[in-house]
C-alpha cells in the first residue's frame, strides 16, 4: 500500500509542482508572446503534417502487415515499429545519415532536386513522422486484424472491386482504430524532441517546435516554459480523455 | 441456366472434392454435418476460395478453370450470397446496404436508391430503409440480406444456412417468405444447411456432403428411403448396416449378419426401421427371421414410443410401446432377444 502510494505520488507530485509554479496572472500574456506563438504555430503545422503523412503511408503499410504474407514480413514489420522503442535521438542521427548533406539519399536529393531536408521545417516534419508513425501503424493493423474479413467477402460478392471494398467497407469498419491511431500519432509528434533537435535543429520559427521552445525557455524565460508545458499537458489530457473508452475501460 | 461444378480445393488439411450440377428452376440443398465443407463449397463457387483443380461453369461461361488459368474474380461473378449471420454493413443504413451491389456495379446513386427501396418493399420492410442494421431483429436483418443479394439480379444465388441464426418462431415465417422469393427467382439456387427439416421442406434435390465429399444425392424421398451414410440414417432415424450379401444373407462389416428376402449379391446397404425390431425376454421360435441376443443400453421416451438402443452383433435401435416395455420389465442393462423379419430388411446396392 505504501509502495503503491509512493508510486502514484511519483506521477502526481510533478504535475502539482508544475501547476503551483504556473504564473496564472501573466499566463495569457506569455501565450501571446511572439516566440511562444511561433513555436505553437510551428508545432501544430508540423504535427498535423506528420500525422497526415503517417495516415497516407501508414494505412497501406498496416494493411500489408495485416493481410499479406510474404517473406521477410516479420523483419520489415519489426523495423517499421522500431522507432517506438528506439531513443529518438538515435532516430535523428539515423535520419541525418540518410537524408543529411552527405547522407545516403540526401546527397543525391540535393544534387538532383536541390532539396535540403536537415534544419528545415520539412526536416522537423520528417523527424516527427519517423517517430510517430509506428503508433498509427500498429493501431490500424490491430484494427484490421480484429475485423471480420467476411464483410469484405460480402462486398466482393456484391461486385465491389478491391478499391471500393477498401473505401466503402474496410476503412469505415476500422475507423475507430484509424482515429485512435491518428490521435496517438499526433500526440507523439507534438511532443517529439530528440529526433527533431538532432535532425532539424532548433531554429525559431522554422524548426523550433514547442518541446524545443520549452527546453530553451527554461534558461531564459522560465514563465514561458511553464505556460508552454501547461499547454502540452492540456493536450495530453484531452487525448487521454478522448481515448479513455479504448484504454481505461468504461470506468 | 445451369451450374456445373467440379471442385477440388484445399483449406488447410481439409480437402473439398465435389461434383455438382444444378439446373435453373431446381432448388438444391446441400446437407451435411458441421465441418463437412458446405461453406467452403459456397466460397469456392463464389470465387472466394481458389480451386486447386476442377472447373466451374455457369450458363456455359467458365468462371474458373485452373488448368486453363481462368479465374473470374468474385466481384465479376454474377452471384448473390446470403450468410448465416447476415453480414450487413454496420456503418451503412438498411437502404444503402441493399443499394451497395448496384452502386458497386456502376448504377447511378439515385437509380440504385430507388431500386433498393423497391426491394425493401418486396421483402416487406418498406419503412425500415433509414435504420441501421444493428437495430433490426434477426428476421428483418436476414430479409435485408436477401434483398441485398437479389438486388443485383444474380444468375447464381448461394444461401449459406440462412435460417440457422433465427429463433424458432421467426424461422417459420422467414422460411415461408424465402420460399416465395426463391420461387419468383429465375437463376440457379443453392441452399446450404445442416438442418434436415429445412432441407426437406425447401429443396427439390438433396446433396449430402460429408468430410468434403458428396455421399449421396437425390430427391428428399430417395435420400431418406435409401440412406447411404450413418449421418443420413441418423437424420431419418433408421438403422443402417453395410455388408456383403450372398444368397440372402448379409454379413455385416462390424460383425453379425442379417437375412433378407431377395437381396442381390455383393456390397449392400441394409436398412431396418426401429419399429420393425421386436424384443423378447425368451428366445422366440417359429417363422424364419433374424434373432440374436442384445443388451439394452439406453431407453428414451420419444412421443408415444420408447427408443431402445441395444448392443449386440449387430447393435440396433428398437422402437416399442411403453406398454411393451412394462410387459418385458425392460430396464437399462437387461439382456433381451432381438428379432427382425427378413421381409423388414430393406436392401440396396452400395
Q: What is the pLDDT of residues A186-229, one digit of tens each?
A: 999 999 999 999 999 888 888 999 899 888 888 888 888 888 88
Best mutation target, A149, A153, A154, to test chain B (most B CBs within 10 A): A154
The DSSP secondary structure of A194-249, one letter per residue, reads: HHHHHHT---TTTT--HHHHHHHHHHH-HHHHHHHHHHHHHHHHHHHHHTHHHHT-
Q: Is B77 on the interface with A (CB under 8 A)?
A: yes
Q: Tell me the pTM.
A: 0.81
Pairwise CB contact (< 8 Å): A169 & B75:
no
Distance, in angstroms, between B76 CA and closest chain A CA?
6
Instruction: Find the largest Cα–Cα distance for chain A.
Output: 65
Residue of B nearest to A158 (CA): B101
In this complex, do B83 and A154 lie within 8 Å of one another by their Cβ atoms? yes
Per-residue pLDDT reduced to its tens digit, B48-90: 999 999 999 999 999 999 999 999 999 999 999 999 999 999 9
pLDDT-based confidence at B288, cuts 50/70/90? low
The C-alpha cell that represents A230 in the structure block: 501547461
Q: At what angle do helices A106-113 and A88-99 cross, to 10 degrees?
A: 40
Checking if the pLDDT of A122 tops 80, the result is: yes
Beta carbons of A153 and B74 less than 8 Å apart: yes
Nearest-by-CA chain A residue for B90: A173
CATH code for the domain in which residue A224 is found: 1.10.3720.10
Closest approach of chain B CAs to the CA of A248, in angstroms?
A: 25
ipTM: 0.81
Rounded CA-CA distance B63/A225 in Å is: 68
Q: Check whether B286 has a pLDDT greater than 80.
A: no
Asked, for residue A10, whether it belongs to a domain, the answer is: no
Backbone angles phi, psi at B143, to 5 degrees: -65, -40
Contact A160 B100 (CB under 8 A): yes
Q: So what's the pLDDT on residue A249?
A: 46
User: What is the SS3 assignment for B205?
Assistant: strand
Residue A158: which of B90, B91, B148 has the nearest Cβ? B148
Q: Of all residues in chain B, what percent are helix, strand and coil, respectively (each to 5)?
A: 30, 35, 35
Q: Which residues of B touch A172 (CB under 8 A)?
A: 89, 91
Residue to test with chain B: of A152, A158, A168, A179, most B Cβ within 10 A:
A158
Which residues partner with B16 through β-bridges? B9
Pairing of strands B278-280, B335-341: antiparallel
B125 — phi, psi (to 5°)? -125, 55
Q: φ and ψ at B16, to 5 degrees? A: -100, 130
Q: What is the DSSP letter of B306?
A: E
The nearest CA of chain B is from the CA of A157 a distance in Å of: 5
How many distinct helices (H) and strands (E) make up chain B? 9, 21
Distance CA B20, CA B324 (A): 47
Residues B55-85 as b/e (b if ≥16 CB within 10 A, e otherwise) read: bbbbeeeebbbeeeeeebebbebbbbbbbbe
**How far lies A186's CA from each of A133, B153, B257, in Å?**
9, 46, 79
A151/B89 touch (CB, cutoff 8 Å), yes or no: yes
The residue segments making up the domain with residue A91 are 33-248
A164 and chain B in contact, CB less than 8 A: yes
Q: Is residue A99 part of a domain?
A: yes
* A17 domain-assigned: no
Is A42 within the bounds of a domain? yes
Tell me if A24 is assigned to some domain: no
Instruction: Please give the pLDDT value at position A250.
Output: 39
Instruction: Quote the distance between the C-alpha of residue B247 and its chain's center.
Output: 35
CA end-to-end span of chain A:
22
Residues on chain B touching A153 (C-beta within 8 angstroms): 43, 46, 48, 74, 81, 87
Q: Is residue A20 part of a domain?
A: no
A113 lies in some domain: yes
Residue A42 to residue A33: CA distance in whole angstroms: 14
Going by C-alpha positions, the residue among B241, B312, B248, B302 that lies closest to residue B271 is B241
Does residue A7 belong to any structural domain of this protein?
Answer: no
End-to-end Cα spacing for chain B: 32
Asked if A191 and A174 touch (Cβ cutoff 8 Å), the reply is no
Paired sense of beta strands B188-193 and B156-160, if any: parallel
| Residue A167 forms contact with B (CB below 8 Å) | no
Number of domains composing chain A: 1
Amino acid at each position: 500500500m505504501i509502495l503503491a502510494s509512493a508510486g502514484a505520488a511519483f506521477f502526481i507530485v510533478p504535475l502539482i509542482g508544475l501547476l503551483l509554479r504556473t504564473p496564472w496572472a501573466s499566463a495569457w500574456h506569455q501565450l501571446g508572446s511572439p516566440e511562444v506563438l511561433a513555436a505553437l504555430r510551428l508545432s501544430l503545422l508540423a504535427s498535423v503534417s506528420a500525422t497526415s503523412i503517417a495516415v497516407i503511408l501508414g494505412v497501406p503499410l498496416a494493411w500489408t502487415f495485416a493481410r499479406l504474407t510474404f517473406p521477410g514480413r516479420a523483419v520489415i514489420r519489426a523495423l517499421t515499429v522500431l522507432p517506438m522503442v528506439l531513443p529518438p535521438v538515435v532516430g535523428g542521427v539515423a535520419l541525418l545519415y540518410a537524408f543529411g548533406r552527405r547522407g545516403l539519399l540526401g546527397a543525391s536529393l540535393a544534387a538532383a532536386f536541390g532539396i535540403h531536408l536537415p534544419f528545415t521545417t520539412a526536416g522537423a516534419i520528417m523527424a516527427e513522422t519517423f517517430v510517430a508513425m509506428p503508433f498509427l501503424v500498429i493501431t490500424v493493423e490491430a484494427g484490421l486484424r480484429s475485423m471480420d474479413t467476411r464483410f469484405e467477402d460480402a462486398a466482393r460478392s456484391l461486385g465491389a472491386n478491391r478499391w471500393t471494398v477498401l473505401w466503402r467497407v474496410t476503412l469505415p469498419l476500422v475507423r475507430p482504430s484509424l482515429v485512435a491511431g491518428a490521435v496517438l500519432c499526433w500526440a507523439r509528434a507534438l511532443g517529439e524532441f530528440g529526433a527533431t533537435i538532432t535532425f532539424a535543429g532548433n531554429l525559431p520559427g522554422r524548426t523550433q517546435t514547442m518541446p524545443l521552445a520549452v527546453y530553451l525557455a527554461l534558461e531564459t524565460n522560465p514563465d514561458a516554459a511553464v505556460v508552454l508545458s501547461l499547454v502540452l499537458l492540456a493536450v495530453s489530457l484531452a487525448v487521454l480523455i478522448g481515448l479513455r473508452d479504448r484504454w481505461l475501460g468504461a470506468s | 441456366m445451369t451450374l456445373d461444378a467440379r471442385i477440388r480445393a484445399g483449406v488447410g488439411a481439409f480437402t473439398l472434392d465435389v461434383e455438382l450440377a444444378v439446373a435453373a428452376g431446381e432448388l438444391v440443398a446441400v446437407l451435411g454435418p458441421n465441418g463437412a465443407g458446405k461453406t467452403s463449397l459456397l466460397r469456392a463457387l463464389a470465387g472466394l476460395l481458389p480451386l486447386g483443380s476442377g472447373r466451374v461453369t455457369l450458363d456455359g461461361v467458365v468462371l474458373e478453370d485452373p488448368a486453363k488459368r481462368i479465374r473470374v474474380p468474385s466481384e465479376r461473378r454474377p452471384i448473390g450470397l446470403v450468410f448465416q449471420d447476415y453480414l450487413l454493413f454496420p456503418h451503412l443504413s438498411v437502404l444503402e446496404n441493399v443499394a451497395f451491389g448496384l452502386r458497386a456495379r456502376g448504377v447511378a446513386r439515385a437509380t440504385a436508391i430507388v431500386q433498393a427501396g423497391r426491394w425493401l418493399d418486396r421483402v416487406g420492410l418498406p419503412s425500415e430503409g433509414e435504420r441501421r442494421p444493428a437495430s433490426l431483429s434477426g428476421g428483418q436483418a436476414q430479409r435485408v440480406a436477401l434483398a441485398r443479394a437479389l438486388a443485383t439480379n444474380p444468375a447464381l444465388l448461394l444461401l449459406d444456412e440462412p435460417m440457422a441464426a433465427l429463433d424458432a418462431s421467426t424461422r417459420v415465417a422467414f422460411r415461408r417468405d424465402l420460399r416465395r422469393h426463391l420461387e419468383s427467382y429465375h437463376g440457379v439456387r443453392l441452399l446450404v444447411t445442416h438442418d434436415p427439416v429445412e432441407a426437406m421442406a425447401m429443396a427439390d434435390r438433396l446433396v449430402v456432403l460429408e468430410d468434403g465429399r458428396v455421399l449421396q444425392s437425390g430427391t428428399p424421398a430417395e435420400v431418406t428411403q435409401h440412406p447411404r451414410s450413418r449421418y443420413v440414417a441418423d437424420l431419418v432415424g433408421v438403422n443402417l448396416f453395410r455388408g456383403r450379401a450372398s444368397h440372402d444373407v448379409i454379413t455385416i462389416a462390424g460383425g453379425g449378419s442379417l437375412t433378407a428376402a431377395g437381396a442381390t449379391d455383393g456390397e449392400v446397404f441394409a436398412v431396418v426401421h426401429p419399429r420393425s425390431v421386436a424384443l423378447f425376454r425368451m428366445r422366440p421360435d417359429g417363422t424364419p427371421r433374424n434373432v440374436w441376443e442384445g443388451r439394452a443400453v439406453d431407453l428414451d421416451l420419444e412421443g408415444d414410443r420408447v427408443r431402445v438402443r441395444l448392443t449386440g452383433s449387430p447393435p440396433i435401435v428398437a422402437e416399442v410401446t411403453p406398454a411393451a416395455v412394462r410387459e418385458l420389465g425392460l430396464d437399462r442393462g437387461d439382456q433381451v432377444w432381438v428379432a427382425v423379419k427378413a421381409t423388414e430388411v430393406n436392401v440396396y446396392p452400395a
